[in-house]
Structure 1
Amino acid sequence: MMVFRNQSSVKEFTLSGLSSSHELHVIFSVFFLVLYLMTLSGNLAIIAAVHVDSHLRSPMYFFLSNLSFLDMCYSSVTIPRLLTNILSRKKTISFNQCISQLFFLHLFGGTECFLLTVMAYDRYVAICNPLRYHAVMNHRFCFWLVTFSWFAGFIHSFTQAFLTYQLPFCGPNKINHFFCDVHPLAVLACADTYFIDMFIIANSGMISLTCFVILLFSYLGIITTILKIHSSEGRRKAFSTCGSHILVVTFFFGPSVFIYLRPPVNYPSDKLISILYTVLTPLLNPIIYTLRNQEVKNAVINFSRSKIFPHCTTKIHISDKDHQ
């Protein structure tokens, strides 16, 4: 078995960015800055609303606040560096900074992968076994589920970063991407990376397969239970409780599977697809959950009003019946 040691002559990399056109730099910088600020404000509003509003004390909202925190961290790994590269003439990143960015990218991405799977299980218990929901999904169990998600994400990111760190780089040093990731770095290695490539794919594949199986069985159970509900109104309410989660899972897993479950080859579409799961998905998550969940929407509105108009004590609370 071939083991690489870090004996690279390359001490820094150059990120190609999104475009070489100087005319587009201003447009890109404004566009991504606005998206980043919207991502931070939207997810921060959900975190604050969940912790302030007494109506949002269920496990589902506990997981949602953790998801929002992950989305803030996830977007912060890539967008600030992207903005720096767009506005700076020197578009370089040191070797250690590159590996660090790769580590945190996979830490937050891997953790979110497991957390979304945990949220699917939460919806499964809520719909398929509602009488025992609070007994099963108690505070301690939810805490350990989130802790496990972070631990599993750490193991995944450490493996990816460690294996990439072992690769020898002796030039060229231009990364055909706007952030450091496994595949764009692997193609620059000046050695046979077959074993490490296969190990990286197997690592990502194992995580994807595990999460997919749990998601599949959770939603098969959910759909089976919903189809047994006699009233159409009951089925509609049951579907609405997990509709937001299905959308988020689709937006997150779809692009990620395309990028990581294949050999390290750079395709022209990789940058665009990477924008989907590193920039747009963290932005869309709070929008999806607030638009499709009246309780979250009310909590965010009440929290915003309390900060903008602190002397206004009237709170909005719309029940499902009123909303209909």
Structure 2
Amino acid sequence: MRKRLLAGSALLLVLAACSGAESDTVERVTTMDIEAADAASYEMAAPPPPPAMASQASEGEASDTISGGGEIPVGRPQVAYRYAYGFRLPSNAIRPLQERHADMCEAKGPDVCRIISMDQAENEGDYAYGSLTLAVRARDARSFGKDLANASGKVDGELVSSSIEGEDLSKRIVDTEARLRARSVLRDRLMEVLRNRRGTVSELVAAERGVAQVNEEIDQAQSWLAEMRGRVAYSNMTVTYESGKPAIGGFAQPIRNAWNSLGGIFGTMISILIVLLAVLVPLGLLAWLGVKVWRRFGLSTGIGDGWTKPENTETS
């Protein structure tokens, strides 16, 4: 009986040990399976490549689009150009060519070309001179200058000089725009103070004066900005016409010089007379008054007193 009990208890211990080992095995297997599954899931769900490359590519494409499109005018230089052309031609052909160039400008219309000034002068001999100043739309200035040069060939004219100068007004325009915006904001704030009537009477009076001063500065900045933008939009073009050289010397030249110097000579003489009169007249009056006073009081210097005129004697 005791043996049976011992055998039964031993069997129970063996079964318990087997069940514990099995549970440990199951638990270990389950745990390992879960960890393996998690590792596999992490391996399968590996993060995609960082989006920095994509963002860099998109930025590169955007920069390529901006640089290639050229539609954004930000940072575009604001340059005011000045053109100068000089023509040499016969004196009798200056006026016709000048009129032809002026007609070409008027034919373009006021939106493209405007005449600023036009003058002509003739001198002795074959020398004559003329000039024409135009305001030409900036994008049409160079082509119009070529048209002027081509038109001079019909009157035996020759283009002897040409120049193009540019002045960058970008910084001045940007600074003026920034100042205009700042003054506009300041004016709005001052107007808000005046509308709400906040503050003392002295503060409101100071705000009104500030508004007047700011408005003056805004008007001045707007005029500067309009003038600079006008210089950028329309280029200044100066055309000069010249024939021969000024006459030097000749028979009439000394006479002309002498005649021109007469005015200066007469002016110098009159100025000298004025100075002499201003000095001598007061001195002469003082001397005359002194003599009158001297004689009135019977004063004498004693020179010649007691002197008598000798009698004439006849000599035999």
TM-score by length of 2: 0.22
Larger radius of gyration: 2
TM-score by length of 1: 0.21
